[in-house]
Amino acid sequence: MSLPKPYLVRTGLDEILDGLREGDPFPPERELAARFQVARETVRQAVHELLVEGRIERRGRGTVVSRPKLVQPLSLQSYTEGAQRMGRSPGRLLVTWEDVTVDAETAAALDVSPRDRVMHLERVLLADGVRIGLESTYLPRHRFADLADDFDPTTSLYAALRARGVVFGQATERIETVLPSPREAALLESTTAMPMLLLNRRSVDTAGAPIEVVRALYRGDRVAFEATLTDR
């Protein structure tokens, strides 16, 4: 039984990638269609899959082999620590920092009244200058109002909180796949068709008092997550 052409093309592209290094040019669709003797649409679909997986990327008018994905640990570490562990240079761009009212679910998670205003910090996360994530953090204002006095939003929030004596106790996280809104896609210099990883997290201190509620959106072609599991 003959194998489907899309499968043959995809496995052929994987073999090509195995012989290339980061930054090497990837063959154009026209050349690949002639090489595999298939329609360009068949090649285009396979190339799109590689783009979504983050194995190749558009650069200028061509396509090149991507850097490996940034692997973030599922732990009570900051984004900074995870990026630096992989030899990447972390950075952040401030989108907004304001006091807002939130929905009843977020208010309950922060143990505040829905009428109370909370601190909202929204930042674009960078790795070596490339936009990889969009993070929205909500903090109880009555607890962290002094952050506005000296916190630099381009630096690690967790480091600033720990410097104030905050000790993280535990966090609950949920990860799912979503498509970004037009605004989110624009901030991440992506498209609304690019799958994203959505991380929702609630952190508390060792006494169980809420520290933060976070909604973080990561480009699926740039970031992966890992966890260390133990049997106890």
CATH number where 151 lies: 3.40.1410.10
Residue 1 has a pLDDT of 59
Does some domain include residue 232?
Answer: no
User: What's the rounded Cα separation, in Å, for the pair 204 and 224?
Assistant: 24
Does some domain include residue 219?
Answer: yes
Does some domain include residue 231?
Answer: no
The per-residue pLDDT for range 52-91, each reduced to its tens digit, is 888 988 888 889 999 888 888 877 777 777 788 878 889 9
**Domain region containing 60:** 5-65
The per-residue pLDDT for range 123-147, each reduced to its tens digit, is 999 999 999 999 999 999 999 999 9
71, 226 Cβ separation under 8 angstroms: yes
CATH number where 9 lies: 1.10.10.10
153, 206 Cβ separation under 8 angstroms: no
What total number of domains does the chain contain? 2
> Residue 226 contacts by C-beta under 8 Å, 6 or more apart in sequence?
71, 72, 73, 74
Residue 47 has pLDDT above 70, yes or no: yes
The per-residue pLDDT for range 205-232, each reduced to its tens digit, is 999 999 999 999 999 999 998 888 887 7
